[in-house]
């Protein structure tokens, strides 16, 4: 049986990543808006961190635990689940440029759409804690915490900041106050601690599925980058001299380089 103490640790880690989304609203306490150049660069940073953490951390760890086939099956399942979820929710086809005209019901729908990709990120955190309490981790308050879990929690937290900015921009346009923007940004990521706990409990009860679990989280996150983050960045930067490609590439490179230390964990 999974110890309550371990579940609480994972839940707190997931909550930390959700709270980090609120950081994306903080700039709006002092500025009216962020430039398209900065928005594109932040999306690139988030994309680079997500892909590098998925490959260097989750995929490599999955291969250490099982065969490429099992990791691959998990990755396909992760892509499929996110794709189906997007098809179900994204039928709303909401244009971010029309957020300023949104009423309360439409605003709730917008925030619901933004939560679709939060759950897989929580899963990524949860599976990274698979070895929680076992030998070989960092000692935190008397509990052995896997180094991968620490890095993954930090990576998802950093990645969530641009998402907080994305949530805050339409809220700002309809006159929502900065403190409430922080709340809505955090709200959009609340599925993450839930996903983290569910994934952690599953891989602890069914250890044989751990390689597939790593693959699932990696596949889901890479698919999100390719289907949502990169297109969003290019749309935001469409009016920039390079169409946003230069800023996006720079952000991706910085994000990947920040995750390179995962190769030596």
105-125 per-position pLDDT tens digit? 656 665 556 556 688 889 999
- Rounded to whole angstroms, how far apart are CA atoms 158 and 128? 16
Give the mean model confidence (pLDDT) for residues 151-166: 87
**242 HSE (CA, 13 A, CB side):** 11
Q: What pLDDT, in 10s, does the model give residues 120-153?
A: 889 999 999 988 877 777 777 677 888 888 888 9
- Burial classification of residue 206, based on how many CB atoms lie within 10 Å of its CB (0-12 exposed, 13-18 middle, 19 or more buried): exposed
Q: What is the pLDDT of residues 175-215, one digit of tens each?
A: 788 888 898 888 888 889 988 999 998 888 888 888 999 99
Q: Mean pLDDT across the stretch 149-175?
A: 84
Query: Does residue 262 register a pLDDT over 80?
Result: no
| End-to-end Cα, the chain, rounded Å | 28
pLDDT tens for 48-101 read 988 988 888 899 889 988 899 999 999 999 999 888 877 766 555 554 444 445
The predicted model scores a pTM of 0.81
């Amino acid at each position: 049986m999974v110890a309550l103490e371990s579940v609480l640790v994972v839940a707190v880690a997931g909550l930390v990543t959700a709270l980090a989304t609120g950081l994306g609203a903080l700039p709006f306490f002092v500025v009216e808006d962020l430039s398209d150049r900065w928005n594109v660069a932040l999306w690139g940073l988030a994309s680079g961190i997500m892909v590098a953490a998925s490959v260097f951390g989750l995929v490599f760890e999955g291969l250490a635990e099982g065969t490429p086939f099992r990791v691959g099956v998990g990755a396909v399942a992760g892509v499929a689940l996110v794709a189906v979820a997007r098809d179900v929710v994204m039928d709303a086809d909401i244009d971010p440029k029309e957020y300023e005209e949104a009423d309360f019901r439409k605003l709730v729908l917008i925030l619901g759409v933004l939560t679709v990709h939060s759950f897989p990120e929580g899963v990524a955190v949860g599976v990274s804690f698979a070895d929680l309490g076992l030998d070989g981790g960092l000692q935190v308050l008397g509990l052995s915490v896997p180094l991968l879990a620490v890095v993954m929690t930090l990576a998802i937290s950093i990645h969530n900041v641009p998402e907080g900015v994305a949530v805050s921009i339409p809220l700002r346009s309809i006159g929502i106050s900065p403190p409430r923007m922080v709340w809505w940004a955090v709200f959009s990521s609340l599925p993450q601690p839930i996903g983290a706990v569910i994934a952690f409990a599953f891989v602890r009860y069914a250890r044989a599925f751990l390689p597939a679990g790593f693959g699932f989280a990696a596949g889901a996150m890479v698919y999100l980058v390719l289907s949502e983050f990169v297109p969003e960045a290019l749309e935001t930067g469409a009016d920039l001299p390079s169409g946003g490609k230069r800023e996006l590439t720079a952000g991706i490179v910085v994000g990947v380089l920040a995750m390179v230390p995962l190769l030596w964990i």
